[in-house]
Amino acid sequence: MKKRTLGKGGLEVSALGLGCMGMSFGYGPAADRGEMASLLRAAVERGVTFFDTAEVYGPFVNEELVGEALSPFRGQVVIATKFGFALDPAGGPQWVGLDSRPAHIREVAEASLKRLKVDALDLFYQHRVDPDVPIEEVAGAVADLIREGKVRHFGLSEAGAQTIRRAHAVQPVAAVQSEYSLWTRGPEEEVLPTLEELGIGFVPYSPLGRGFLTGKIDANTTFDKNDFRNVVPRFTPEARTANQALVDLLGAIGHKKNATPAQIALAWLLAQKPWIVPIPGTTKPARLEENLGAAAIELTPEDLREIEDAASRITVQGSRYPERMEKMTGR
């Protein structure tokens, strides 16, 4: 597996990471813990060194899973986690708001260190921009943790260009994580140019469109009652029918390259910039193998032009989040 570097601080990771959320949270019942531990270790054996989790996934259980499964590989892997949500004080499964107060950031860091069984958090993202806490205070709080040796690198998730600049001026940002794929291209407008200018890495989450770009989902697919795609506007049957054109495009390119739609979707992201590191998630060993195969696919300039020309004629239908979460993208 080739390596890529996030930010100017030398955070080197595998060109493809592994998003771990779906192992415990978001897409129906949690998967078997033992099987997921085996999958995480198999990813390491296949060259993956970058793993993504967060306290809110579960909450807590995903960090515990990742910490336990990867404990034999200390020093060999990079684990990213996140702060910034206020969790239900009654211990419920839902977050109840945002909280990036410096004292809360410190509390989350201390708890995540224990769950992940590490001495320092490799990459600590603000999960969502908190409008009630100046980003300078957030960056300062993480800078303090970095000085104390509890955090190695600072990241932001779903932050806009202005926020990124303000945070980076206080504490260098190693990476920004936002949704980005052939059906979610908002970061191209302002965020990616800002990151290139400042020397910050980019980590696309949901690079396979929450499974849709794999070609395994159509208008008739039903999801588990606890799967959050049930409330995502982009996953209504009507939107899925309209958005099938994008999957068809990936399939056509894949046919020429002897690759799957998922592999083309990931190869397209890797071809955009050398400092982009997608983090597809999966709970299945076969899908892990398929996704990692994307790193070996070379898309020529002609391939990329063909994809761009065809994609420009497709209008994606449906918002990527319910309204409550769509409003939580930073400026």
> Which residues have a catalytic role annotated?
57
Give backbone dihedrals phi and psi of 277, rounded to 5 degrees, phi first.
-130, 95
Q: How far apart are CA 202 and CA 137, in angstroms?
A: 22
Query: Across-strand partners of 178?
Result: 204
Beta pairing class for 3-6 and 11-14 = antiparallel
- Residue 208: CB atoms within 10 A of its CB come to 29
CB 78 within 8 A of CB 44: no
Q: How far apart are CA 45 and CA 197, in angstroms?
A: 35
Q: Where are the alpha helices (DSSP H) in the chain?
A: 33-45, 61-69, 102-116, 135-147, 161-170, 191-198, 237-257, 261-272, 285-292, 301-311, 323-326
CB 23 within 8 A of CB 54: no
* SS3 of 246-285: HHHHHHHHHHHHCCCHHHHHHHHHHHHCCCECCCCECCCH
Which residue from 117, 79, 96, 135 is spatially nearest to 279, judged by alpha carbons? Answer: 79
Q: How far apart are CA 40 and CA 45, in angstroms?
A: 9
Strand order in the sheet with 173-179: 18-19, 50-52, 78-83, 121-126, 151-157, 173-179, 201-205
